[in-house]
Amino acid sequence: MTEQRQRQGRQLDGDALARAWDELVGTARRTVRDGLVVGTSGNVSLRVGDTVLVTPSGVPYDRLRPEDALGVDLDGHRIIGGLTPTSELPMHLAIYRDTGARAVVHTHAVHATAVSMLVPELPAVHYMTAALGGPVRVAPYALYGTEELAGNMLHALRDRTGCLLQNHGTVTYGDSLDQAYDRTAQLEWMSRLWLTAAAVPGHTPTLLSPDRLREAAQKLRGYGQSAT
């Protein structure tokens, strides 16, 4: 580790690192609790400055401790901790380099993964499609942990904040871990909704038009409590 990388890692020492790591671990555990991943599948990351805190490879989330904090720079060099980063690090870093994302959530959610095996995109079955930028594209299959998969994902994420990975799972990003996680949960719910409606014999699900989605997107911008 170079002196420059050591200095970068020290910038997150103390309370700031502890808070960020605790938030990341809490989100990772939530993916398991909510049934979006099984075992050590899936991964979560959080960008703080030019450092990316990320879940490690092959470690159950309920075993992660404060001293296990793990961070890399935007080139993937480890600058905090001694554990090996998730094998999907190329996907996370590609998003941070290409967008203004502050957090990324990757899961193997069952219904969303099933949709990725059936269609090239999840259609606009609900107005929450607008929260992800439009119908959710499916990135073509590539071996996990590869730059090829990261490239396919970036193409599917163009003008979107989430996508499906064919025969693999989901990726969403946001300005915070809460936002990225909420987009993951919405994507899984919409996938389940479409699968349920499409399974009814003799009926075809109605879809929202681009105009309806634009209308919903505008209204969603003012959703929630205003700042005081």
> For residue 17, which amino acid is it?
L
Helix (H, G, I), strand (E, B) or coil at 216: helix
* 88 flagged as catalytic: yes
What is the phi/psi pair of residue 139, to 5°?
-75, 130
Q: Are strands 103-107 and 121-122 parallel, antiparallel or unpaired?
A: unpaired
**What's the pTM value of the predicted model, to 2 decimals?**
0.91
Active-site residue, from 67, 88, 121, 147: 88
pLDDT tens, per residue, the chain with 228 residues:
455 554 555 455 678 889 999 999 999 999 999 999 998 899 999 999 999 999 999 999 999 999 999 999 999 999 999 999 999 999 999 999 999 999 999 999 999 999 999 999 999 999 999 999 999 999 999 999 999 999 999 999 999 999 999 999 999 999 999 999 999 999 999 999 999 999 999 999 999 999 999 999 999 886 655 555
- Residue 148, Cα to own-chain centre: how many angstroms? 18
**What whole-number distance in Å separates Cα of residue 36 and Cα of residue 21?**
20
